[in-house]
Amino acid sequence: DVKVTQSSRYLVKRTGEKVFLECVQDMDHENMFWYRQDPGLGLRLIYFSYDVKMKEKGDIPEGYSVSREKKERFSLILESASTNQTSMYLCASSIGKNTEAFFGQGTRLTVV
Amino acid sequence: GQSLEQPSEVTAVEGAIVQINCTYQTSGFYGLSWYQQHDGGAPTFLSYNGLDGLEETGRFSSFLSRSDSYGYLLLQELQMKDSASYFCAAPHNTNAGKSTFGDGTTLTVKP
């Protein structure tokens, strides 16, 4: 079974803090993605990566950055957390041009 | 850009059949995926339609009509465990992970 593991299920951070959300997948997938999920807004793509050290902006990249130093790990960074970044963050991975994406359990981040 | 519309809520009874519709507007279209998400859980892949027609997987089927920019997910013999949110998604290219998602339909199955 493919496993996508996010380091924390729940996180509470203060405004202005630098926040790291970690995601690891164990199936050698080339592609990794970060989404945020808000009630009534579905899933929105923040950043994605098709290869190590490669990154591309998604639909809502403002206030975020990412890092992919190893194939299995994709980190989402909030440089200076703000209250409007309180959300559920979902990491996903996929292989090649396969039609199925695999999601982690999500990190519910609260910024106070 | 891409946008997908689906109903926000659907309610049905155990044993019934329910259809969740998804209409889309896209500048480029490769196919339509469906994901299920239980409360507090991860979205899990259900099906993908790259071509027009019906795809069947057990109690779940998915349909696509490119000419109508429309698809649906059909759930048969509903069970209580089918209560969840269902999302349609359109991959931006043939890579599944880079997708635009609909806002989700919350399905409530009642006894």
How does pLDDT run across B59-94, given as a tens digit for each residue?
A: 999 999 999 999 999 999 999 999 999 999 988 775
Side-chain-side CA neighbours of A46 within 13 Å: the count stands at: 26
Q: What is the pLDDT of residue B1?
A: 67
Please name the member of A40, A93, A96 whose beta carbon is closest to the beta carbon of B103.
A40
Please name the member of A59, A94, A106 whose beta carbon is closest to the beta carbon of B97.
A94
Distance CA A74, CA A90 (A): 12
Would the CA dihedral through A68, A23, B50, A96 be positive or negative? positive
Q: What separation, in Å, do the N-terminal and C-terminal C-alpha atoms of chain A show? A: 36
Distance CA A34, CA A36 (A): 7
Nearest CA in chain A to B31: A99
Q: Contact at 8 Å (CB) between A2 and A101? A: no
Q: What residues of A are in contact with residue B43 (Cβ under 8 Å)? A: 43, 90, 103
Nearest CA in chain A to B45: A100
pLDDT category, A70, cuts 50, 70, 90? very high
pLDDT category, B40, cuts 50, 70, 90? confident
Q: DSSP 3-state assignment of B67?
A: coil
A49 CB within 8 Å of a chain B CB = no
